[in-house]
Amino acid sequence: MSAAELALVGDIGATNARFALVEPDGTLTTTRILLCDDYPTIADAIAAYLAEANGAKPAQAVLAIAASPTGDEVTLTNHPWTFSIEELRKTLGMRRLSVVNDFHANAVAVPHLSESERIQVGPGAAVADTPIGIIGPGTGLGVSALIPTAAGLIPIPGEGGHVTMPPADPRESAVLDLMRGRFDHVSAERVLSGPGLVNLYNALCELSHVPAGPLTAAQITDTRIGAADACAREATTMFCAMLGTVAGNLALTLGARGGIYIAGGIVPKLGDAFAQSPFRTRFEAKGRFRDYLSQIPTFVVVRPFAALLGASKLLEKP
């Protein structure tokens, strides 16, 4: 980034579009959250944000989006916005516009987190110069990694949220059997996301022969509602256990002895309930590799807008 340039960063999911300005010294300012559904296009959302930011005119931008951009044409995975990167750059009058996967940006942020911006769940200690995994349930399920190289940590974006969800016990098998009758593919994202929590709750109500209430993901994980609704309570517990399964699979696949970081909008809001959930037990429950996984630390990212931090660091890349 030029020494005198103002820049824009964005973290754009299926529900919220988060924006901030990056001052020439790298400071993030004027952070705002807009609802994606309030704007016909991504250009409209950015224009509305810049108007709120006193008509700021950033010279360049990095947008982290919930999709895997492979060319100029980009479509969000769980939202109808579609755009051309080059046309958007011209519309915004910017010198440079980069678009990356949102968990690419989350991965880039991880080395810059302070101790207070992450909370360790369970035992383990990170081993230097080894891979790190990042996973995060929100409106969807993001997955990425950091791989050590001679040039430093390299972020590896992917679509690991769409791996097939495995059951770990008969109750989960029954839930996934029900869901297979409704979806052509029951991915991890079908259960480990906001809509996934609703899927779990509805399936558990059906298996328990009780009517499902019209609950949102936030209501399902609300401890006050869970105290009165056994299926909401079980859905939250199963969500945490299934996240442990998928996070443990990610750790084994990567050899992530540098740790697994849990980002996204859902888990940080669970607070102490997450630490007391079956997550860590299930994370380690890999038979002969239990001891291997018991040494890998798992962290919850509690820094707000971590992807915006990562996007700001990507401004420094040519």
Triad 248, 258, 236: Cα angle to 5°: 35
**Domain holding 159: CATH number?**
3.40.367.20
Residue 1 placed within a domain: no
The confidence score (pLDDT) of residue 4 equals 64
The confidence score (pLDDT) of residue 253 equals 97
The confidence score (pLDDT) of residue 1 equals 46
Positions of the chain with pLDDT lower than 50, given as ranges: 1-3
Q: Which residues of 42-51 are buried (b: 16+ CB within 10 A; e: fewer)?
A: beebbebbbe
Do 200 and 290 have their domain in common? yes
Nearest to 174 by CA among 142, 208, 212: 208
Q: At how many degrees (to 10) do helices 230-254 and 170-180 cross?
A: 90
The confidence score (pLDDT) of residue 157 equals 84
Residue 97 placed within a domain: yes
**Domain holding 35: CATH number?**
3.30.420.40
Domain count, the chain: 2
Do 227 and 188 have their domain in common? yes
Which residues span the domain enclosing 288? 116-302
The confidence score (pLDDT) of residue 2 equals 46
What is the per-residue pLDDT across 251-289, written as a single tens digit (0 to 9) for each?
999 999 999 999 999 999 999 999 999 999 999 999 999
Q: Which residues of 122-132 are buried (b: 16+ CB within 10 A; e: fewer)?
A: bebebeeebbb
Which tokens in the block code for residue 18?
């988060």
The confidence score (pLDDT) of residue 67 equals 86
Do 92 and 193 have their domain in common? no
What is the per-residue pLDDT across 153-172, written as a single tens digit (0 to 9) for each?
999 988 899 999 999 999 99
Q: What's the predicted TM-score (pTM) here?
A: 0.93
Do 125 and 273 have their domain in common? yes
Q: Which residues of 281-298 are buried (b: 16+ CB within 10 A; e: fewer)?
A: ebbbbbeeeeeebeebbb
